[in-house]
Structure 1
Amino acid sequence: MRPSHYLSLATATSSVLANAQSTSSLISTAAQIALSLKSTYPNPSVALLPHPFWWWESGSSIDALLNYGIATGDKTYEALAANTLLNQATGTNDFMTADATGNDDQAWWALAALTAAEQNVPVAPGAVTFLALAQNVFDEQKARYDGATCGGGLKWKINVGNGLDGWHYKSTITNGLFFQLAARLAKLTGDEETLAWAEKAYDWVVGVQLIDGEFNVYDGVEDTENCEVVNNPQWSYNTGVFILGTAAMAEQTGDSKWTDRTKGLIEAAQRNFVRDGALFETRCEGSGTCNLDQVSFKGTLARWMGAAADILPEVRDSVANVMNENAALVQGSWNVDAGVMGHFSSLEIMDAAIRARGEALVAAEGFLGPKGAVQNVGAAGSKRSIAGRLWW
């Protein structure tokens, strides 16, 4: 598997860096990338990635298109995202499809639905609301929260299976997605019980040392080992998922501990997942061994850093420092042949760079029209493993 298409350009010229500082340039590039990502869907009316990409990555790519709309004001892809979310909603309105073998699989789709709810994406008359879809998944995962072992936490797998295929693994991404879902739901609904669940979920992750004192974030623990042995690979999305969750908690509670946590996690992301200025999946990218899961991780890190900067001014400058340079690298290297994950990660980076500027600044520069309408954006108008785990 080839390394990221833009990493070799870490020595981008000053002229490219200067170009990346133009908001209009960022938006124009993002529009081109979004159109290219959309063109990778085999069915143009449903935003499902082609084989062999996983179903959860399709849910994440929908979130990417929705976040493009948040960053730029261009709502071109809202209808496609809405149609796909409803297309994948089951009869019980919870995304419990045949592909939802893990709590994490289901949660990625719930977060995409929550993004749609936060942005008031229109729903067809009589259709289930996006908030209800997210809420239903959260309620189901609350019921699966496992206090019988390790004092809590969600298992990676939803069903026991043969007991050897991840049922006993309490993965960080599963619990991080649950935490972020709770934090953002609480922010949107004002529900105190949901807020308490977010606090509980974060405290459990820290309690089993999946987040250490320097905000390094590790991969997971086994309940057969009483969650006492930390599986210590670090992956960028595990850090990213907590960055947005803690930022959402900081925004709604005003408690400085959540701001401090967000800052610490961003510093850890910069320390562990940036090389020569570029986002870098440290464990696999240099060797070109990133698998179909891992190729998407740094894109979601970018998304969640950008979203955190959007809602928490205290971290905006630190995020902008990373994302402006990465946006310059993307602008200097991206092309329409970059491939599915090249488009995905590049789009997330461009959107994060725009969001780190703050909506007021972007609007003041004249690139967002009434109700967020973007101006002059150009073209847009099997067996599996947890990352870092052995294949079972």
Structure 2
Amino acid sequence: MFPLPVALGAAILLSTTNALELDITQPDSIRDAASNIAYGMMSWYTGNNTGDVPGNLPDPYYWWHAGAMFMSMVDYWYYTGDNSYVDVTKQAMIHQAGDTWDFMPENQTKTEGNDDQLFWALSAMSAAEVRFPNPDSNQASWVAQVQNVFDLQTSRWDDTCGGGLRWQIFTWNKGYNYKNTISNGGLFQISARLARYTGDAQYVEWAAKVWDWSTGVLFQNETDTTIVLNDGATTESGCTRSDPTQWTYIYGVFIAGTAYMYNHTRDQIWLTRTTKLLNTVEATFFINAANGVTGKVMSETACEPSGNCDIDQQSFKAYLTRWMVLTAQMVPSLEARIWGLLRPSAQGAALQCSGGGEGPRNAPDACGRRWDQATYDGTSGLCEQMAALQAVSAMMLGGADGGLDGVNLLPPASVAAGGGGTSKPKEDGGGGKTSGKTLPLVYTEDITAGDKAGAAILTILLVSGTLSVGWWML
């Protein structure tokens, strides 16, 4: 549908001065470029230093950024076969899974939100699907960890606004009265992926339940050809007041879920929904490049052109990229179209990797944010590295029509129908409810004076209305 233009093979060598060299048709070139970007990203990580906490990032980054970063490292291993970061990735993910193997570690439980927990769960789901080295036999498997998160999150589904997950788990945290798209989309995606991986019908039922609820609350508009999403809605308004800001990752989290549902059920309605979401993604987030790359490139259009992306928004393209790749794997009829979008984006990302030292270790090849620009935009950070890493390393799978010579990456695994999965599900299969009242879990941790003070300050800010639309972010 969208064949690779002949000129694109080595065209990235038209790059800006000192830009990262990338030929998206050559495996060694992709591996080398991805390795440089991965090193730059991991230069920000200090959790493997003596006295630091495995899985944590230093300021200004948050716990969920770490979960997303290690999802990228799992993907990097899958794409390239580079084992350099396997041990540190396993250490971080297992440590942050906590004693109950559900990504509710003691150092985060008072502040983490549903979406934060989901990013770690999605990392574990990827680990299960790509056959990442398993935890030890006395530890919960990757997929069992995801099932534990599913059980927790479905127990938090409440009747306010007719259903849905709240952004926050605890009442004292900012955003408790907001039902956001990324949290509900994350639950939808892990339900769909667990359905395919395990073959258990309860996950199909929950994916359908989350989707059906979302159509009435989180969908701004649906036509015969498109679906437009909101960022979320406030419970105080009965979920009638929503934030219409368009972000890449909220589309990514849903499109991968619909793709998995189509792959697993073969129901045409899920193919239709996947196609509608892809239509909106292409129209909203892919723009003409000014850097010599042929084709449109991905842009965080709500903030990149104005230069005001915050630290969360700087990473969002990483997730849309990864979840579009999964969509291509799950829906072969959309594969050529998706790679036709992602190839120019990878080239644009590589052109931006021409900055100086990156992170505490002063790693070279810092990557900028504007994949549509001809010269390095001067930005850098873990989030920019992560977005570029996802874009570039994915070319191992889709850099050329028909695949790359000598590269044979296995599709996402499952344990259902001989799918080759090595991560074993829980024996009890989990316990998500699809009907009846589902109350949020009650945690018995002590609330400190600091917690109460923070909640009081937040209440004052909310009442005074000083928080902008950007407040509704992670």
TM-score bracket for this pair, using the shorter chain length? 0.7 to 0.9
Q: Is the 8 A contact 1:210 1:219 kept in 2?
A: no
Match of 1:135 in 2: 147
- The code of the aligned residue for 1:298 comes to K
Query: For 1:170 and 1:82, how far apart are their aligned partners in 2?
Result: 32
> In the TM superposition, what is the alpha-carbon distance from 1:23 to its structure 2 partner?
3.8
Match of 2:87 in 1: 79
- The code of the aligned residue for 2:167 comes to W
Residues 347-371 of structure 1: CA distance to partner in whole angstroms, max 9, x if unpaired? 0111333333599723xx0145999
Q: 1:366 aligns with which of 388, 401, 406?
A: 406
Higher mean alpha-carbon deviation, 167-176 vs 347-356, is at 347-356
Match of 1:69 in 2: 77
Higher mean alpha-carbon deviation, 130-139 vs 18-27, is at 18-27
Q: Does 1:300 align with 2:311?
A: no
> In the TM superposition, what is the alpha-carbon distance from 1:73 to its structure 2 partner?
3.2
Higher mean alpha-carbon deviation, 169-178 vs 77-86, is at 77-86
Match of 1:208 in 2: 217
Using the aligned pairs only, state the percent identity. Answer: 33
> In the TM superposition, what is the alpha-carbon distance from 1:391 to its structure 2 partner?
8.8
Q: How does 1:257-276 map to 2 (within 5 A)?
A: 257-276=269-288
Q: 2:31 aligns with which of 4, 21, 27?
A: 27
Residues 175-205 of structure 1: CA distance to partner in whole angstroms, max 9, x if unpaired? 0001001111111111101111011101111
Match of 1:352 in 2: 394
Give 3-state SS (helix, strand or coil) of 1:388's partner: helix
Match of 1:175 in 2: 184
Match of 1:5 in 2: none
- The code of the aligned residue for 1:158 comes to I
Q: Does 1:323 align with 2:342?
A: yes
Residues 319-371 of structure 1: CA distance to partner in whole angstroms, max 9, x if unpaired? 11111101111232314233312211100111333333599723xx0145999
Q: Does 1:155 align with 2:166?
A: yes
Taking a change above 3 Å as real, the CA distance of residues 85 and 23 of structure 1, as seen in their structure-2 partners, is: same
Match of 2:3 in 1: none
Q: Structure 1 length normalisation: TM-score?
A: 0.85
Q: How does 1:249-288 map to 2 (within 5 A)?
A: 249-276=261-288, 277-288=296-307
Residues 20-48 of structure 1: CA distance to partner in whole angstroms, max 9, x if unpaired? 33343223211221222222212347453
Query: For 2:248 and 2:31, how far apart are their aligned partners in 1?
Result: 25
Q: 1:43 aligns with which of 26, 42, 47?
A: 47
> In the TM superposition, what is the alpha-carbon distance from 1:160 to its structure 2 partner?
1.2
- The code of the aligned residue for 1:114 comes to M
Q: Does 1:227 align with 2:239?
A: yes
Taking a change above 3 Å as real, the CA distance of residues 211 and 117 of structure 1, as seen in their structure-2 partners, is: farther
Higher mean alpha-carbon deviation, 166-175 vs 153-162, is at 153-162
> In the TM superposition, what is the alpha-carbon distance from 1:99 to its structure 2 partner?
2.9
Q: Structure 2 length normalisation: TM-score?
A: 0.71
Give 3-state SS (helix, strand or coil) of 2:160's partner: coil
Q: Is the 8 A contact 2:396 2:407 kept in 1?
A: no
Give 3-state SS (helix, strand or coil) of 1:19's partner: coil
Query: For 2:176 and 2:282, how far apart are their aligned partners in 1?
Result: 32
Higher mean alpha-carbon deviation, 119-128 vs 305-314, is at 119-128
Root-mean-square deviation (CA), in Å? 2.8
Give 3-state SS (helix, strand or coil) of 1:248's partner: helix
Q: Does 1:90 align with 2:98?
A: yes
Query: For 1:122 and 1:110, how far apart are their aligned partners in 2?
Result: 15
Query: For 1:263 and 1:324, how far apart are their aligned partners in 2?
Result: 19
Query: For 2:40 and 2:171, how far apart are their aligned partners in 1?
Result: 39
Query: For 2:473 and 2:161, how far apart are their aligned partners in 1?
Result: 24
Query: For 2:403 and 2:213, how far apart are their aligned partners in 1?
Result: 38
Q: Is the 8 A contact 1:99 1:105 kept in 2?
A: no
List gaps (5 residues or longer) in structure 1: 1-11, 372-381
Give 3-state SS (helix, strand or coil) of 2:90's partner: helix
Give 3-state SS (helix, strand or coil) of 2:182's partner: helix
Higher mean alpha-carbon deviation, 23-32 vs 122-131, is at 23-32
Taking a change above 3 Å as real, the CA distance of residues 136 and 347 of structure 1, as seen in their structure-2 partners, is: same
List gaps (5 residues or longer) in structure 2: 1-9, 16-21, 289-295, 355-364, 368-380, 412-453, 459-466
Match of 1:6 in 2: none
Query: For 1:110 and 1:245, how far apart are their aligned partners in 2?
Result: 14
Taking a change above 3 Å as real, the CA distance of residues 359 and 271 of structure 1, as seen in their structure-2 partners, is: closer
Give 3-state SS (helix, strand or coil) of 1:20's partner: coil
Query: For 2:74 and 2:248, how far apart are their aligned partners in 1?
Result: 21
Give 3-state SS (helix, strand or coil) of 2:228's partner: coil
- The code of the aligned residue for 2:68 comes to S
Give 3-state SS (helix, strand or coil) of 2:307's partner: coil
Query: For 1:322 and 1:47, how far apart are their aligned partners in 2?
Result: 32
> In the TM superposition, what is the alpha-carbon distance from 1:215 to its structure 2 partner?
1.4
Q: How does 1:376-387 map to 2 (within 5 A)?
A: none
Q: 2:230 aligns with which of 218, 229, 232?
A: 218
Match of 1:186 in 2: 195
Taking a change above 3 Å as real, the CA distance of residues 226 and 349 of structure 1, as seen in their structure-2 partners, is: same
Q: Is the 8 A contact 1:294 1:387 kept in 2?
A: no
Give 3-state SS (helix, strand or coil) of 2:67's partner: helix
Give 3-state SS (helix, strand or coil) of 2:162's partner: coil
- The code of the aligned residue for 2:238 comes to N
Q: Is the 8 A contact 1:310 1:356 kept in 2?
A: no
Taking a change above 3 Å as real, the CA distance of residues 130 and 358 of structure 1, as seen in their structure-2 partners, is: farther
Q: Is the 8 A contact 1:38 1:44 kept in 2?
A: no
Query: For 1:169 and 1:324, how far apart are their aligned partners in 2?
Result: 36
- The code of the aligned residue for 2:177 comes to H
Query: For 1:358 and 1:136, how far apart are their aligned partners in 2?
Result: 38
